[in-house]
Amino acid sequence: MSRPPRHRAYFAAGLMIVGLIIVAAILGCGRRGEPVPSSRRLPAAPAGVRLSAPAGVLRVSWDRPRRDAAGRPLSGVGGYLVLRVAWPPGQDACTGCPEDARVVARVDPLARKTRGLPAEAWEDPDTRAGWTYRYRVRALDPEGRPGAVSGPADITWVPLPPPAAEARPGDGRVLVRLTPAPWPEGVEPLELRVYAWAGRLLARAPASEAGVTVEGLENGTAYPAEARVAGRTAEGWEVESPGTPVTLAPVDTTPPVVPATVTAFAEDRGVLLAWVPEGPEPYARVRVFRRAPGEDPRQIAELSGGRLRFRDGSAVPGTLYTYWIVVEDAAGNRSLPSREVVVRVREP
């Protein structure tokens, strides 16, 4: 018995639908790889976890992970979690024991960068002298899911006290003499440092030195700064003390160059002296000195720095005089005396 025409049409349509499904499955096969588990798309563990103490504050820093747990390039990091374990004084950190680590901070790298701080870092505000701390870090994906935990970084916290500091100004430079407090046990003395008020390192010297010289300063300008000492802990971490405020105020202590050419001319009514300036620094004052036979040397004139000659109208005719000059700069530094010139005053 034959199928009714309508039933045959339904049957054919069903076969067509099934065929399309099979073809789509065949065409799609091989285009999509095996799904990657979500855990393998999370950030890899941050590497390079290290500790320091700029200006006496314990800082944890690390390297930004560049790949996920599957080894593929990481699209982005949504932040970090900092974990910490603490042991009181007298109790050593246990390497193989289970850790009761707790999250002590969630770090936003973009916010830190906006504030001018290192993006991959965090400063611990709650540290106690003599305690041992272990830090680990986990990176977050853009959705806030944590990746693998980093390796540990341990430190027994021994804060360095700030040093005593004294500034001794010079010409375009300042010597900052530092007297550190007694170095804590277990901390190796490392360096003496001077920072600008904004935190830029200006100069450093070994801890065995008595001070640090800051060069390249402008005379007459006051620079606010701070002095710190740095040491190395038993674990090998470099730490600094808080800063001691100090003002760097260099002064001009270098005298100007005295003229090498000084001449004297006898005239009917006295003696004319002339000179040629030397050196890069302008003269602020010129002092003229004279000596006659049987007399003590004395200053006979004080002139402005721009003067290049002087007429001595008080010279006695027929007398043999010796002249020289001394120049000063604006800071009051005096040069050595110039070479002497000898002249006899003419008779009228």
Q: How far apart are CA 47 and CA 27, in angstroms?
A: 43
Please report the pLDDT score of residue 17 as a whole number. 59
Please state the rounded mean pLDDT for residues 249-257: 93
Tell me the one-letter amino acid at 225.
Answer: A
Domain boundaries, given as residue ranges, for the chain: 42-156, 164-248, 261-344
- CATH topology classification for 42-156: Immunoglobulin-like (2.60.40)
CATH class given for the domain over 261-344: mainly beta
Q: Could you tell me the pLDDT band of residue 78, with boundaries at 50, 70 and 90?
A: very high
pTM of the model: 0.70
List, in order, residues 6 or more apart from 63 with CB less than 8 Å away: 46, 47, 48, 120
- Which value, in Å, is the radius of gyration of the alpha carbons in the chain? 41
Please report the pLDDT score of residue 197 as a whole number. 86
Q: How far apart are CA 192 and CA 210, in angstroms?
A: 9
Asked if 164-248 and 261-344 have one fold, the answer is yes
Whole-angstrom distance between the N-terminal and C-terminal Cα of the chain? 164
Task: For 33-57, write each residue's pLDDT tens digit.
Answer: 455 556 668 999 999 999 999 999 9
- CATH topology classification for 164-248: Immunoglobulin-like (2.60.40)
